């Protein structure tokens, strides 16, 4: 993060990498207390240096100090949509002058709204592209972000689609998309407005995978 914010050839990185957590000179008779003291002093130095970096950003602004913007990361924008999706869907229920509300009732509604929100950040959004055959059949992906080499799969919980069934479906999806030539990153967004998933963070952690073929991110909200 120091490199991304301040750059590689700056004093910030050199100062931080220059912190010593171990003794430079010691032998068999050196007391353990000296090792612990050096380690604790290193932590204090690191804390002080990081505090100075934060103060510098507060004083002068982060945009002036970096040539990389976290806001430009495509996955950051996708996660932002997932995190705020429920708030957007609730807002659509309250319309001006008592007009008919726009409600999210099924998975197709979730796809339509998610597609509209993706358009805020992405120009090339390809919906319903066919995936290669898996287990004797082929299917469609919900959204393909071609330049980002990313596929977004949308699901909505319902009666009969709870934790066990959802986990089984996501495992099948993960294996299926490994065969997709344009999928290096798979994002599975699960919209759970009724709270049917008992342990969403556990499922997210269990299904998150990183390998040479594809990286997987499972996001269950709210």
Confidence of residue 179 (pLDDT cuts 50, 70, 90): confident
Is the pLDDT at 138 greater than 70? The verdict is: no
Decide: 5 and 62 in contact? Cβ < 8 Å: yes
Radius of gyration of the chain (CA): 24
Does the N-terminal peptide bond of residue 222 adopt cis geometry, omega within 30 degrees of 0?
yes
Mean pLDDT of the chain: 85
Is the pLDDT at 63 greater than 70? The verdict is: no
Is the pLDDT at 140 greater than 60? The verdict is: yes
Decide: 70 and 40 in contact? Cβ < 8 Å: no
Instruction: Count Cβ atoms below 10 Å from residue 3 Cβ, excluding itself.
Output: 14
Tokens, residue 175: 């294996």
Decide: 208 and 174 in contact? Cβ < 8 Å: no
For helices 200-207 and 163-177, what crossing angle results, to 10°?
A: 20
Average pLDDT value for residue range 202-209:
85
pLDDT digits (tens, 9 = 90+) for 97-131: 777 777 899 999 999 999 999 999 999 999 866 66
pLDDT reported for residue 12: 87
CATH number assigned to the domain covering 70-221: 3.40.1350
- Across 48-62, 123-137, 160-174, 180-194, least confident range: 123-137
């Amino acid at each position: 993060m120091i490199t991304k914010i301040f750059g590689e050839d700056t004093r910030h990185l050199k100062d931080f990498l220059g912190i010593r957590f171990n003794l430079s000179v010691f032998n068999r008779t050196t007391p353990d207390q000296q090792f612990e003291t050096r380690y604790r002093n290193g932590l204090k130095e690191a804390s002080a240096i990081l505090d100075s970096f934060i103060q510098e950003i507060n004083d002068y602004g982060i945009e002036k100090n970096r040539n990389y913007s976290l806001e430009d990361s495509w996955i950051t924008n996708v996660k932002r949509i997932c995190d705020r999706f429920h708030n957007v869907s609730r807002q659509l229920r309250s319309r001006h002058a008592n007009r008919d509300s726009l409600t999210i009732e099924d998975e197709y509604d979730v796809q339509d709204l998610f597609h509209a929100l993706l358009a805020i950040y992405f120009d090339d959004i390809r919906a319903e592209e066919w995936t290669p055959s898996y287990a004797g059949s082929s299917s469609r992906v919900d959204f393909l972000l071609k330049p980002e080499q990313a596929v977004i799969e949308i699901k909505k919980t319902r009666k009969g689609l709870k934790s066990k069934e959802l986990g089984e479906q996501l495992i099948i999806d993960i294996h299926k998309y490994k065969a997709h030539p344009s999928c290096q990153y798979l994002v599975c967004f699960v919209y759970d407005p009724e709270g049917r998933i008992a342990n969403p963070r556990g499922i997210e952690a269990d299904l998150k995978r990183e390998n040479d073929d594809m990286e997987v991110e499972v996001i269950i909200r709210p």
